[in-house]
Amino acid sequence: MRAVSHVYKRLGVGPHPDRVASAISSEQAISEILGASTPPIEIMAMEPPADREEFRDPSGVAGLAAWWLEQMAFSPDPLTERMAWFWHDHFATSVRKVRSSYLMWLQHRTIRRLALAPFSDLLMAIAKDPAMLLYLDGAHNNVESVNENFAREVMELHTLGTGHYTQTDVTEAAKALTGWLFHLPFNRQISAAAGDTPEWEPFFFGRRHVSGRKTVLGTTAEHDLDSFLELLVGHPATQTRIASKLFVELVGTTPTEGDIDRVTRRWSTTDPTIGLVEAIVDQPAFLDPASFDSRVKTPIERLVGLVQAYGTAIPAEASYALHNQSYLPFNPPSPAGFPREEALLGPHQLVHAFDFLNVIDPPPNPPVDDVLVRLGLHSVGEDTRATLDASAPNHRLALAFNSPEYALT
């Protein structure tokens, strides 16, 4: 049972107790998740803004976040939700700066559509994505004022990682990235430049581009956005970094050189990402008991696991609880994404973890064993068990939810 629960924690966003109970083995659970044949889930509808004021209204992300959290909890395709969250964190974009619910919705639609597609396709789409063009200043990067923000972050955070590029590479890459905008219908100048480009779609405006030869990562050519991203996609450091990061996400432990060697022999950045998932799941480390409960749960995982155990929907209080933990979807604290591991175990986080209990209406006085099974706690220490057995029946869920064991996944 613990191994099955581990599979659902890693390849989904939580161990839904009914799904865990119905699985015959961990191998069957893996097969069902990876072979899910359910039609793609249509993202909730959002109408394009009618005017500039509506365009600059960020309040609509609350409804989008609630919808997504419900998909994380109850979707028949848990892997898509896990991968959508992984990429949302990897290509972190905050509505605080973008200030547009609709652009965040467009980006989320893109991430969901390409969550298991080749990394090269997703990177290309995100680099031109309107929300990203605003968030990392790509829309302000032009021949008269070169902005290095996206050039630096796409190499440091999205692809190569530190140590694989120089400041000169950043400067030259920023020039290659100049000239991209998106068709904002409320701006006459941009609409005129966009020509036949549909509203809200990105387009290249040559007059804003720094032309000429540029040397990036040791390659000299008349680089533009496409050719620069191709350099990043083809760089061995990108393949290793994406494989290593997803390995940690799905397995929970740091991969060895042998793990990454075996995985990257089967997957490259131009192959569908589902192939990378399968290669990682096939590694012995995935079902090694040492990987069980080996990393700290994110507030998203804590909330989703609780709702899967005792809820039927995501109430409005969920957004408040996640906001208090700086973990509200579409609102990461920095381009590096959401905090992880030890950063989630501070006093503030532990105190506000109790906020999550307000989002459900559990049955009164549940038996200890029922609480543990429904929360996916199939192995707890003697101290935790003794505390739960000695506690008042109406305190059991709160104590189990805030136990050291539930803090891990």
Are 100 and 131 within 8 A, CB to CB?
A: yes
Phi then psi for 181, rounded to 5 degrees? -135, 180
Which segment of 141-145, 152-156, 256-260, 348-352 scores lowest on mean pLDDT?
348-352
Helix (H) or strand (E) holding 215: strand 214-216
State the Cα–Cα distance between residues 16 and 2, nearest whole angstrom.
13
Predicted confidence band of residue 162 (pLDDT cuts 50, 70, 90): very high
Asked if 337 and 327 touch (Cβ cutoff 8 Å), the reply is: no
Choose between 214 and 398: higher pLDDT.
Answer: 214
Q: Looking at residue 131, what is its pLDDT? A: 98
pTM: 0.96
For position 37, what pLDDT does the model report? 62
Q: How far does CA 268 lie from the centroid of its chain? A: 20
272-299 average pLDDT score: 95
- Tell whether the model's pLDDT for residue 315 goes beyond 80: no
Q: Would you say 225 and 180 are in contact if contact means Cβ atoms under 8 Å apart?
A: yes
| Per-residue pLDDT at 179 exceeds 90 | yes
DSSP-H helix ranges across 75-184: 78-90, 95-98, 101-114, 119-127, 130-135, 149-153, 167-176
Is the pLDDT higher at 179 or at 364? 179
Which two structure tokens, joined as six digits, stand for 329?
């979807």
Q: pLDDT tens for residues 323-362?
A: 888 899 999 999 999 998 888 888 887 778 888 888 888 8
- Residue 355: what pLDDT? 85
Give yes or no for residue 39 having a pLDDT over 80: no
Specify the pLDDT at position 313.
82
Q: How far is CA 149 from the centre of its chain?
A: 21
Q: Which of 41-50, 75-84, 316-325, 332-341 has the lowest mean pLDDT?
A: 316-325
Answer yes or no: are the C-beta atoms of 112 and 43 closer than 8 Å: yes
Q: Of 120-124, 154-158, 347-351, where does mean pLDDT reach its minimum?
A: 347-351
The pLDDT score that the predictor gives to residue 82 is: 97
Average model confidence (pLDDT) for the chain?
93
pLDDT at 216: 97
Residue 320 confidence class, pLDDT cut points 50, 70, 90: confident
d(C-alpha 396, C-alpha 365), whole Å: 8
